[in-house]
Chain A
């Protein structure tokens, strides 16, 4: 009996008191227990040190590079007078406006561009409030963010025209009306002027913009805006700096490996490139888009989704001695025997389908030279010797000659401005093929219809000139009116 009672008591103690204790603890600390404590950084506590702000700046690159840039370039090239899209890319080369598949494709670019803009805005807004960062670092990093924001808007405005202008001021306003193209260019220019004065002469890493990258982009923007003197001046500043030099080549392989090669870290010609590397998920995808497995130039085959054609007059009229012409391989993969496959980017040792080491040039020195050539000719309404010389430099290099030394290929002085500009435009075509430049250039010089009819025999529908504003914007931005704010024809 004694035992039994003790036992009972024990059991009650075991069960009773802990329960009550648990109950008391439970009720008093509920709210604390329910507080979430993730093992990640809260946005509110970030953007304080140089390292943090730099990591935030780095995040502007990701949406532009990852997956976007390679597809974006291929998309633009399908609309050029040289290259053709196959399969789902084919409607881009028909010039009758975008179909559903391509509308979806370009809305992906829109989203990526605006994600980059947001990440830039976050830096521009938050960096100045950092509590452990020097003013110098703030200025440099904000300038880098502004450079990237300007570059992004430059692409947005050329493809879509007037777009919502998201800055650090209005970045949280859900419904924002479109700004005119002029207003967009206004921001681009002011961002670049800021970047020009605050970016370093030599950045701390290859792949970041220098003040010279800002000047180059500004030159291109001025050219677009037909502010030719300013364009020529900015380009000339870059030329005068003496920091850049065309890469000398002797043969096709030199172009493939010394200029665009998968293993080069940088070149004397690099002004601003998106950098790729043979590291997990950090490689280039553009090779997969265009290569054909039989070329053996890319060890992961390829989808040969964009290609050229032997019968295109641009190709037929191209001098066979131009090394750049050799960057086209004639391969019949089912579209007939005239199909050309680009071998500008090659990597026989990539690590995966999207794992090639080749960088994607945004601005290289050859472009600065050609911007100068065109802008100075247009600004002065005369072809200066210097303009002619820089055009010849690009041409000589294309033929494997010393860019600096006069050659028998050189264009003679004394041609008309118009003839000269035609030559510059043609040279740009040869030089920047498959670098995503051509379509914007055709639109800029207002000869898209003419040159596309000439090159491909296609009639350009007016609606094809601007891409439709994606459903993801049109439907959810209440400040946009679907009837009046959508681009024509969509």
Chain B
């Protein structure tokens, strides 16, 4: 809670009259019998050490720790009294007994709150002492009208004890046990003010109504939210760094294979997209732009404190409590050499003391292709290729009779893409007593892909157990066991129909998948002019399988020992283990196949040991210090084994009898190990809740770097100023929160693989005597002396809340400079080594992020909105020798060339190619001879586009009315270009019988139609990496729309249920974009026949017992 404003702001502290307290007292007596869990509140364990602080401060501290609110009138409770309280993991009631012992205060738990009242002294004279010295006397006036009503919370539970005040007077009442109130109004009095601790106050105009029912909204900011940061937690108000938090409700908003998918558009400064639409496809996450040329640019993922290898693919979304994305250096530097790309902290669900609760969720979705490409039909296809034949002086391929006989033809997209189901189910049981809290869950996620035969299935078991051994010693175990199985049909990329995705577009509509005898049609010889590479997609669908099965274990045991209430030692040991096996089989029925099988199995193991000392103490009430220091060990071991064979007599073996192959392949195995040793330390200091300082350092030693360069230091510092807690702001009721933050720090990136700095020989094979002979030689990358990539980041942020934080704005500006960039330095290829890696180059990312949370409407109809927008500009500051780096080579036969460039002073990854100037007399493209040398060569390539968005944004809107909830979630990207490599083959590679979009048929160059989108249709029409393939990739997408209904189970008297929600939702139902191919979201930067994304409709159920 905002402590300063609590002193001053009437909305946060209810002033109760003694009479009202008596009423409450009556209620409490009545309620206590039937309100379950009241005792649980008092059993809650707390640990604190406060000396000579005011009672108010002590209560606030307990509120923060326990999340239990105190309701009291500061006029009767002596809040200014100095108290001492010391407790180590003691039950709340015993602490309160001590605390109130000398203060004549009684307390009672009421509906999750604790009511405080003064103990009525038995008067020596006998009888009860009558009313109070500071009671507000009700005026005795003529009542004009009576208004009554019922006050409930957002879940439709009655709220007793709410203060109802007639505006402009001192008159008011307190609501009764059922939340009901009744009040008389005088002439001219029209406005009531409803206020209750922990809820937002409301002013309501009566307007001559006799009944005014009110729903009070909880004041979410009133109690401190805790944010997980590296190696600890911090109160949101005490944050000095830039951290984005996404809670379980948003994570679970719609079914997703990967938690990262559900973060897309939720967190400012974080750009998330799926690499393709395939089920279980990998995710790309960029926090504040990419820092590294060579490295992955993916953030570090930390699950319940365990830095894992790769992403959190094994977790089920419903098991996740919250995700925090650490963005600035003050937050990430504690992760040292792995923090430069940001850190994603994932916290799984924990049990809470109290009644055991059971949550069951299930959903069913139906997915389909987001949109089809509008391709030529059979007739158009035949006419199109006849035109090509004429242009190339070949006899037309189809006779007029053929053409007249063709109609629409066969739709290959409908053949390859299907409607596909997705099912999610999870069951979570959690609870505990004062000693042990637990949460266990089991879940299933099953998704069929929209390409026939593809799927992704995950079974996950998750558990968290916290046990208190003694008041000093606790132990916590977190485990996840997952089984992942996926069948992939994502043969993408390619050209001229040699991949399934490309074949689905390229296959002639004049042909069908099957011959009349039922055998597969061979497309590559169906016409003399057709591409040799083109494959009937049925081959990939029916006759090729690529299965990945993985077992993932993540387990972490932590022992926590409190030497004193302030000082805790935490020792943890964890294991991450991933065994996966990849089976590939191509049957003998596949085109030109004798049967080919390959199996590869990998085992990854990471052992982690972390030892930290945590210290928390508040000195003299104003100086609050928390510190952590420790050292950690983590190793990473990869081993692999593979085998293969071709030529099978029968398909029955699949991949399970490689020995049956006629030609066994060379078996393979591999090993790599790396190690990370670290020291870390951090101090948070808060002075008087106004001035905050965080200093941290991590020293990392990694085995991957060269001798003498293995160790790196990563310091950071941050300051923040809570202006809203300053005295001069005390009169300001408009601004409820105002904090300025600034930080600077260093973090690193491990962009290289183990052994990259060693001069190792690679084994291979060649042939003598018709048999194998061994070869040993160095690779083509010359090893060099390497050290860390280091990113220095400056951040300036502001948190700004008004009207009791009904409107909350968070804004950050950052500037990141990455130096010692690990970069591939090209060598003259005559060296035999084509490249080496060096620490050269600098990249800058700077940008602004804005996040806005708004409670637009409160009351019976609520409307919450949060929006975020992020702007990032990247710039290459320096490169080795100032040399350009050409990247992103596209090889599709007619074009084999780099498409992007890294050049000093330019944004990262700008597109680099030729500019088109229209068509010549023949209908061929004229390319811009930018250097004017009379010929078109690589020297004429120039900037043709920028893949970096101007900004990305997300908008989430939730409205509730009665038991209904309506949610809209939009996400988008603006100003980014996409290089559409898919279009090279299918709009420009004429003469190979490939099907193309109707637009090519309708709008190509002919002598009568010179102002065309496409050139002359000829085998020899040249094309290059040109601006033709650059498209605007901006889009706005309705990611999710949901309507949910919460059954009023209490009102319906269904005792067995705690809650029941049914919902219907739709994903990706609307996309606004000019992009011509399947999808601008997954095909960020480069689109090359990737598995298309789907849209879906979902029905779901959430039940709580």
Chain A residues in the interface with B (C-beta under 8 A): 7-8, 11-12, 14-16, 18-19, 22-23, 26, 30-31, 33-44, 46, 52, 55-56, 58-59, 61-62, 65-66, 87-88, 90, 99-101, 104, 107, 110-111, 114-115, 117-119, 121-122, 163-164, 166, 171-172, 174-176, 205-208, 265, 275-282, 293-294, 299-304, 332-336, 351-353, 355, 357, 470-473, 475-477, 480, 490
Contacts and interface: CB of A to CB of B under 8 A. Distances in A.
A158 B522 CA distance: 42
B401 interface: no
B337 to A, nearest CB: 12
Contact of A42 (B754, B758, B895): B758
Given A100-B896, A475-B883, A58 B646 contact: no
A148 B405 CA distance: 61
Contact of B761 (A22, A41, A275, A334): A41
B232 to A, nearest CB: 18
B666 interface: yes
Contacts of A281: 665-666, 765
A36 B561 contact: no
A167 B929 CA distance: 40
B611 A22 contact: yes
Given A23-B631, A46-B776, A275 B829 contact: no
B702 A34 contact: yes
29 contacts: A7-B470, A11-B470, A11-B473, A19-B571, A34-B703, A38-B672, A41-B760, A42-B761, A52-B776, A56-B777, A58-B774, A87-B894, A100-B1024, A101-B895, A114-B830, A164-B828, A206-B769, A207-B769, A282-B765, A303-B532, A332-B528, A334-B528, A334-B530, A336-B394, A357-B770, A471-B938, A472-B829, A472-B834, A476-B827
A300 B769 contact: no
A275 B769 CA distance: 8
A122 B782 CA distance: 14
A279 B532 contact: no
Given A34-B710, A334-B394, A351-B594, A90 B1020 contact: yes
Contacts of B894: 87-88, 101
B777 A15 contact: no
A38 B671 contact: yes
Contacts of A471: 938
B633 A59 contact: no
B770 A275 contact: yes
A341 B666 CA distance: 34
Given A26-B677, A171-B831, A38 B754 contact: yes
Contact of A115 (B646, B758, B832): B832
Contacts of B828: 164, 174-176, 472-473, 476-477, 480
Contact of A353 (B592, B763, B768, B773): B592
Given A58-B775, A275-B769, 15 more contacts: A14-B559, A26-B631, A43-B760, A59-B777, A88-B894, A104-B896, A117-B832, A118-B832, A121-B832, A275-B770, A280-B666, A293-B532, A301-B524, A355-B646, A480-B828
Contacts of B1022: 99
B766 A282 contact: yes
Interface string B553-580: 0000001010000000101000000000
A300 B665 contact: no
Contact of B759 (A42, A99, A110): A42
4 pairs of A and B residues whose beta carbons are closest in the complex: A118-B832, A477-B828, A59-B777, A334-B529
Interface string B891-930: 0011111000000000000000000000000000000000
Contacts of A66: 766
A302 B761 contact: no
B663 A207 contact: no
Contacts of B128: none
A58 B663 contact: no
B896 to A, nearest CB: 5
A36 B777 contact: no
Contact of B769 (A56, A205, A294, A472): A205
B525 interface: yes
B755 interface: yes
A43 B759 contact: yes
B896 A15 contact: no
Given A22-B611, A280-B644, A352-B646, A294 B760 contact: no
B771 interface: yes
B91 interface: no
Given A118-B831, A475-B826, A40 B755 contact: yes
A111 B829 contact: yes
B528 A44 contact: no
B755 A208 contact: no
Given A280-B663, A282-B766, A114 B776 contact: no
Contacts of B764: 59, 62
B592 to A, nearest CB: 5
A304 B666 CA distance: 30
B938 to A, nearest CB: 7
Interface of B: 394, 469-470, 472-473, 522, 524-525, 527-530, 532-533, 559, 561, 569, 571, 592, 594, 596, 609, 611, 631, 633, 644, 646-647, 662-666, 671-675, 677, 701-704, 710, 754-755, 757-778, 780, 826-834, 883, 893-897, 937-938, 992, 1020, 1022, 1024
Given A58-B766, A472-B829, A477-B828, A301 B561 contact: no
A30 B609 CA distance: 15
Contact of A100 (B768, B897, B992): B897
Contacts of B701: 30, 34
Nearest to A470: B829
B715 to A, nearest CB: 20
Contacts of B832: 114-115, 117-119, 121, 166, 171
A25 B147 CA distance: 76
A175 B831 CA distance: 9
B109 to A, nearest CB: 31
Contacts of A36: 673-674, 703-704, 754-755, 757-758
A40 B760 contact: yes
Given A34-B702, A207-B767, A352-B646, A15 B561 contact: yes
A23 B894 CA distance: 61
B768 A19 contact: no
A333 B664 contact: no
B848 to A, nearest CB: 37
A79 B773 CA distance: 34
Nearest to A278: B663
Given A19-B611, A334-B394, A476-B883, A279 B759 contact: no
Most buried by A among B530, B672, B776, B1024: B776
A26 B633 contact: yes
A430 B896 CA distance: 34
B893 A87 contact: yes
B851 to A, nearest CB: 41
B768 A206 contact: yes
A55 B611 contact: no
Nearest to A119: B777
A33 B703 contact: yes
Contact of B778 (A43, A52, A206): A43
B675 A473 contact: no
B768 A208 contact: yes
A282 B831 contact: no
A321 to B, nearest CB: 31
A487 to B, nearest CB: 13
Contact of B829 (A55, A278, A355, A473): A473
A16 B473 CA distance: 13
B663 A279 contact: yes
Nearest to B780: A115
B703 A35 contact: yes
A55 B830 contact: no
A174 B1024 CA distance: 32
A266 B257 CA distance: 57
B345 to A, nearest CB: 25
A43 B703 CA distance: 20
B543 to A, nearest CB: 15
